[in-house]
Amino acid sequence: MPQPLYRQVAEALRQKITSGDVPPGAQLPSEPELEKRYGVSRNTVRLALTALANEGLVESRQGRGTFVRDRITFTVLASAEEGGSAGHGKDAFVAAVTVHGRKAEQVDFRMEVRTASPEVAARLQVDEGSLVVVRRMRRLIDGRPWSIQESFYPMDVAEGTRLMSPTDISYGTITEMARHGHTQVGYRDEVLSRMPTHTEAAFLGVGTGVPVLEMFRTAYSTERAIRLTINVYAGDSTQLAYEIGDVVAGQEAAQSTEAS
């Protein structure tokens, strides 16, 4: 069966956007212009634009019109980020971003003491309702919102350390824990896709139909779980990558391809 008219208009505009004919940041024709171009009603045009907005392809700016979203994808080497030694004296996220020539920022730091929810307690292997220290921040790449992070620490791990301060730790929390006898030796990741909350969508700037990626990373010392970090990423601008084993040959091939 033929597609509804609004989907046909949306597909025509989508092809122009994905092919680069209408580049990121460009303004789409006005609604009257689109009506005339495609021979459809104003309502059909609005439904088509809404569909594209839900996909995160365009955004409406009040009083100005509809513009193609500038979606810059960043690949997170998840097996290195928050991994400990990768930062060489820097926070692991900052190190991972700056090595690609991008600007990393961590803002809106908050620290609070909470009681462990069932989910947090299970991952940290502590009693439900026991006290945990939570460090929350928002992350930006090149000045654009990119992720929301919450890290949970058992009270006995955080007490007496800079983890209790609502400020950035330039050399990273992994190093701070190690300085106090809690050395991270490994971690377990769980990644899921879900629809964002209203707050997440507003900060990350994702359309109503665009999911987020949520990554739960539980870090361990040789004796116990010492941290749970939950990262929420915009699903349309984030790729998660893992390198396991010796991948030097693959890195060299990738660099050769980029150079050519």
Do 94 and 49 belong together in one domain? no
Of 40, 68, 96, which marks where a domain is finished? 68
What's the maximum distance between 2 C-alpha atoms anywhere in the chain?
Answer: 70
In terms of residue numbers, what domain contains 9?
Answer: 5-68
Query: Rounded mean pLDDT of 186-193?
Result: 94
* pLDDT at 89 (0 to 100): 55
Task: Count how many domains the chain has.
Answer: 2
- Give the CATH number for residue 50: 1.10.10.10
Q: What is the reported pTM?
A: 0.75
Do 133 and 219 belong together in one domain? yes
Amino acid letter for position 11:
E
pLDDT single digits (tens) 213-231: 999 999 999 999 999 999 9
Of 68, 87, 109, which marks where a domain is finished? 68
Token output for 77: 């080497």
Label residue 79 exposed, middle or buried (CB < 10 Å: 0-12, 13-18, 19+): middle
Do 184 and 126 belong together in one domain? yes
Closest CA to 66 of 4, 132, 10, 106: 10
Q: Is 102 part of a structural domain of the chain?
A: yes
Q: What are phi and psi of 213, to 5 degrees?
A: -100, 130
- Is residue 191 over pLDDT 90? yes
pLDDT single digits (tens) 24-55: 889 999 999 999 999 999 999 999 999 998 88
Q: Is 256 part of a structural domain of the chain?
A: no
Q: Which residue has the higher pLDDT, 76 or 257?
A: 76
Q: Is 254 part of a structural domain of the chain?
A: no
Q: Is 255 part of a structural domain of the chain?
A: no
Do 166 and 224 belong together in one domain? yes
Residues facing 139 on adjacent strands? 106, 147
Query: What DSSP designation does 225 have?
Result: E
Q: Is 80 part of a structural domain of the chain?
A: yes
- Give the CATH number for residue 78: 3.40.1410.10
Do 97 and 63 belong together in one domain? no
Q: What is the distance between the alpha carbons of residues 158 and 149, in angstroms, rounded to a whole number?
A: 17
- Is residue 161 over pLDDT 70? yes
Q: What is the distance between the alpha carbons of residues 153 and 229, in angstroms, rounded to a whole number?
A: 9
Do 44 and 113 belong together in one domain? no
pLDDT single digits (tens) 80-121: 665 544 445 567 777 778 877 888 888 899 999 999 999 999
pLDDT range class, residue 69, cuts 50, 70, 90: confident
* pLDDT at 251 (0 to 100): 59
Q: Is 248 part of a structural domain of the chain?
A: no
Do 145 and 48 belong together in one domain? no
Do 187 and 211 belong together in one domain? yes
Dihedral sign for Cα atoms in the order 201, 205, 206, 211: negative
Do 185 and 82 belong together in one domain? yes
Do 185 and 100 belong together in one domain? yes
Whole-number percent of the chain with pLDDT over 70 = 89
Amino acid letter for position 68:
V
Q: Is 56 part of a structural domain of the chain?
A: yes
- Is residue 163 over pLDDT 60? yes
Q: Is 48 part of a structural domain of the chain?
A: yes
Q: What are phi and psi of 251, to 5 degrees?
A: -65, -40
Of 20, 40, 68, which marks where a domain is finished? 68
Do 172 and 214 belong together in one domain? yes
Query: Rounded mean pLDDT of 187-212?
Result: 89
Do 101 and 212 belong together in one domain? yes
Element of type H or E holding 138: strand 131-141
Closest CA to 66 of 135, 113, 17, 103: 17
